[in-house]
Structure 1
Amino acid sequence: MSDGCHRSPAATAPALYIPPAFREEDPAVLRGLIAASRLAILTSNGPEGVPLVTPLPLVLDGDHLLGHLARANPHWQALAAAPRALAVFMGAEAYVSPGFYPSKAEHGRVVPTWNYEAVTVEGAVEVFEDPARLLDAVSRLTGRHEEGRAEPWAVTDAPAAFTAAQLKGIVGIRLLIERVLGKRKLSQNRSAPDREGVREGLAASADPRDRAAAEAMDRG
């Protein structure tokens, strides 16, 4: 992911609709949004035209995303048969009230909308069951989400026999980052006064999700 994405020579139409004003292409920003997302949505083609969907944490591993599925989840078998998937990562998001816009008092031609950040990652998937690789995957995931705690838990804190038994119940996945699409819809299409009104309205909200969206607007 050194340049933000790999380019598939036979890339299909984009999976994410992105008007030019909301397009994000900075590799550092995209990587930051992926790393900050705690839970991804993994999707792939399923039977009868209905996608298979699994919410799961994924961790960056160089130019790959690393994670695991429950062995009882048939999604991994579908991936083994058709090894390609798309992962969705959501960042800040918030409802935008027309009342935030100064232009509402001027002409009233305003409607509600939603501000949000989203990144999609598409690529080939490797399914693996090797115990050593599974242990490495769960250790990376655990380390990522335990960091910052006063007393972080580690996989090695559990009895080795117990951990080995738990690993038998999961299947690892490694998704090659071939195509990355980023969208940051943060009122860039509004006038400067309207955009500032949205930022101030969200920043004053009691909902931490709204305040996070205001901070995303501050970051540009």
Structure 2
Amino acid sequence: MLIQPWDAALDDAEWRQWIADGHDFGILGVNGPPGQGPVAVPTPFCTDAGRLLIHLARPNPVWKAVEQDANVTFTVVGDYAFVPGPWRAGPGTPPTDGVPTSSYAAVQFICRATVIDDPVAKAELLGRQMAHFRPDGDHAPVDPDRPPRTGMLPGIRGLELDVVEVLAKFKYDDHKPVEHRTAVASRLGERGQGLDTPTARQQLRRLDRVGPWKP
């Protein structure tokens, strides 16, 4: 993933907070067999002490790929919106000559995958996921020896992804003048389509921290 200096995370806390703010769904990418493309699987996940925790159905084609190559990439993308060219035209430039772009946040985790098949270990993994996604505890205990989990656990496998490297990108035109970024955020708020509102929020958050861009 190309990350220009002005698109880089300002610190590790920035991308960690962005993930913690509800960005818990991404794409698992694994090298496919020779002559075939990569295997890509959309899935929810949660974080746990430097790892990502995932579970998938046993028939999923990703397992063969992971067993052949445990080096994987997990990508999370969010707060994205298309920015029309006229919004980005500089002073003295005809609006129709403005260059469009897309604003977005993306975090890529480069990981080493471990497959979890032991029933007790799978139950522990599911328990940590339940604590993340259902913190109110409104679910049956995750116990491999008690229904309903006893009959369900054999149908899934778990994945622990040990994070080796993190690439974080916040592409919100931070190299543009303050007035430009403020105007784009305002227009996104007015348009109000798709993820325009959270995109504007990210642009203004970065603006508050970065201010005028200094190379």
Runs of 4+ in 1 over 4 A off after TM superposition: none
The structure whose RCO (Cα within 8 Å, separation 6+) is larger is 1
Q: Name the CA distance, whole Å, in 1 between partners of 2:126 and 2:199.
A: 30
What does 1:169-188 align with in structure 2 at a 5 Å threshold? 169-188=155-174
Partner of 1:207: 193
Q: Name the CA distance, whole Å, in 1 between partners of 2:36 and 2:11.
A: 33
Contact 1:57 1:141 in 2 (8 A): no
Cα–Cα, structure 1 residues 155 and 98, in superposed 2: closer, same or farther, change >3 Å?
farther
Q: CA deviation at 1:143?
A: 2.4
Contact 2:87 2:98 in 1 (8 A): no
Q: Which runs of 5+ in 2 are unaligned?
A: 207-215
Contact 1:65 1:175 in 2 (8 A): yes
Partner of 1:27: 12
Q: Name the CA distance, whole Å, in 2 between partners of 1:125 and 1:34.
A: 20
Partner secondary structure for residue 191 of structure 2:
coil
Contact 1:84 1:125 in 2 (8 A): yes
Q: Name the CA distance, whole Å, in 2 between partners of 1:142 and 1:93.
A: 28
Contact 1:102 1:193 in 2 (8 A): no
Partner secondary structure for residue 31 of structure 1:
helix
Q: Name the CA distance, whole Å, in 2 between partners of 1:60 and 1:177.
A: 10
Q: Name the CA distance, whole Å, in 2 between partners of 1:81 and 1:29.
A: 34
Q: Name the CA distance, whole Å, in 1 between partners of 2:149 and 2:132.
A: 18
Structure 1, residues 143-187: CA drift from partner, whole Å, max 9, x if none?
Answer: 21224xxx6522429993221211111111011110100000001
Cα–Cα, structure 1 residues 46 and 180, in superposed 2: closer, same or farther, change >3 Å?
same
Q: CA deviation at 1:98?
A: 2.7
Alignment length, in residue pairs?
A: 201
Contact 1:22 1:185 in 2 (8 A): yes
Contact 1:24 1:183 in 2 (8 A): yes
Q: TM-score, normalised by structure 2?
A: 0.85
Q: Quick one: which of 85, 99, 106 aligns to 1:118?
A: 106
Structure 1, residues 25-56: CA drift from partner, whole Å, max 9, x if none?
Answer: 51111222333313110001002141011111
Q: Name the CA distance, whole Å, in 2 between partners of 1:208 and 1:59.
A: 25
Identity of aligned residues (%): 27
What does 1:1-220 align with in structure 2 at a 5 Å threshold? 16-24=1-9, 26-35=11-20, 36-47=22-33, 48-101=35-88, 103=90, 106-108=92-94, 109-147=97-135, 153-156=138-141, 160-207=146-193, 209-220=195-206
Q: Which runs of 5+ in 1 are unaligned?
A: 1-15
How well do the aligned residues superpose, as a CA RMSD in angstroms? 2.1
